[in-house]
Amino acid sequence: MVDRRQVMRFRVRAQQLDRTAGTLGDTAALDIGVQDTGPDGAGWALAIRGVPASGWSAKDVVLLWTLRGAPHLYRRSDVGQVAAAVAPFSEADAGKRILNASIPLKAAGITNLAALDEVATRMRETVTRPTGKGEVSGRLAAVMPEPYLRYCRACQATHPYEMPFRLAALPAGLELQLGTSPPVLQRITGFRPAKTGSERFDVIRAYLRLLGPATPRDVAEYLDAPLPEVKRRWPEDVVEVTVDREKQKRWVLAADAPRIDAPTEAVTRLLGPYDLFLQARDRDTLVPDPARAKQLWPVLGRPGAVLVDGELVGVWRPRKVGNGLSVMVELWNPLPRRKQGTIVDQAERLAAHRGIPVKSVEIG
């Protein structure tokens, strides 16, 4: 049996939040993808894992719509393996991932996997040069049949369904240009998906390696995949772990089990709102207090989280003030002045990452 704090420290180590320097090649989070949502997205997530923005460029990384249709950053050299790893497990899995787009397809006698293939083919034909998402969507709407399309009241226009559009982009060999909003799609040079996946990029194993110990339901929710599909592919080389006398069993890869008790460096990090550490589906492990969990994961406008010595201790929000940055921190419990100083240090690091000065750091 292990306790909750051991689980938290294990994840800090597994995700390399306790290191000061690293490279893209040895950054474990890039195996499952680093979500790039908001101004403090993938770039900041890499920085707090020891890989500053000066250590990589577009020739080294690729931004792709993958898990849950969200943009994730990967190593460019891994793109073929990633394409194989994030593909739907089955027809049922594809249907769950594309959400309500599966309803008109089923009515028209079109399978979900066939639909994704068709959208990918059309997207590949459409994007012959860097093209904005709106233009790609409009051109697809002009050539795709009705089951693939929906009327958008907000735009008063007809578009392809969003999730098939996003999930077909990678099979079409398309990436998102870094730093574009709205996104610009372009062809991936030399794209060739791997015929079979590898253990390193297997999404179930990667979740267990980086966010374990976990249950099949945790992994299914993270992938937006049906639970039976995850259970069918559950690794054999796992061991059961009980956390704080929970009745429900969790699992961790057998090779990682001895590391649950390993010591962890005392570090402070300002985690972005969509940092991998906060993507674990056992939120009650990360934040046992329901009121604090609600504050950290609101329906709209997520804050970042303050990580101190393996524990989430509060939330933070950035605010642009003139040509500088103000960081507002709300602690859930008082911290010693020395620990508050490490938060200020991290706020200054964030400002440097953004290339602007710190105006203020308010800790309350």
Instruction: Round to whole Å and give the CA distance between 239 and 250.
Output: 8
**CB atoms near residue 116 (< 10 Å):** 23
Tally of structural domains, the chain:
1
Question: What SS3 class is residue 5?
Answer: helix
Asked if residue 206 is part of any domain, the answer here is no
Whole-angstrom distance, CA of residue 266 vs CA of residue 243? 22
Q: Which of 28, 16, 44, 20 is nearest to 275 (CA)?
A: 44
- What's the count of helices (H) and strands (E) in the chain, helices before strands? 14, 15
SS3 311: strand
> What three-state secondary structure class fits 181?
coil
For helices 4-14 and 203-211, the axis angle rounded to 10 degrees is 120
- Classify residue 102: in a domain, yes or no: no
- What are the E-state strand segments in 114-183? 131-132, 149-152, 157-160, 174-176
Structure tokens, 229: 């599909």
- Whether residue 213 is preceded by a cis peptide bond, meaning omega within 30 degrees of 0, is yes
- In angstroms, what is the C-alpha Rg of the chain? 21
Identify the CA nearest to 169 among candidates 191, 147, 142.
191
State residue 100's pLDDT score.
Answer: 95
Q: Which of 39, 31, 100 is nearest to 66 (CA)?
A: 31
In a domain, 358, yes or no: yes
Print pLDDT tens along the chain (364 aa). Answer: 899 999 999 999 999 999 999 999 999 999 999 999 999 999 999 999 999 999 999 999 999 999 999 999 999 999 999 999 999 999 999 999 999 999 999 999 999 999 999 999 999 999 999 999 999 999 999 999 999 999 888 788 899 999 999 999 999 999 999 999 999 999 999 999 998 878 999 999 999 999 999 999 999 999 999 999 999 999 999 999 999 888 889 999 999 999 998 888 889 999 999 999 999 999 999 999 999 999 999 999 999 999 999 999 999 999 988 899 999 999 999 999 999 999 999 999 999 999 999 999 999 8
Q: What is the pLDDT of residue 146?
A: 95
Residue 230 inside a domain? The answer is no
Report yes or no on 101 lying in a domain.
Answer: no
Q: Which two tokens stand for residue 163?
A: 């999730």
β-pair type (184-187, 131-132): antiparallel
- pLDDT for res 99: 96
Q: For 216-267, give the DSSP string.
A: HHHHHHHHT--HHHHHHT--SSEEEE-BTT-SS-EEEETTTGGGGG------
With respect to residue 249, please indicate whether it lies within any of the assigned structural domains: no
Burial label for 228, CB within 10 Å (0-12, 13-18, 19+), is: middle
Cα separation of 286 and 278, whole Å?
A: 8
Strands (E), 13-142: 34-35, 61-65, 71-75, 131-132
pLDDT attached to residue 257: 94
Supply the range of the domain harboring residue 347: 268-363
18, 22, 69, 64: which is closest to 42 by C-alpha?
Answer: 64
Distance CA 149, CA 141 (A): 7
Asked whether residue 51 is domain-assigned, the answer is no
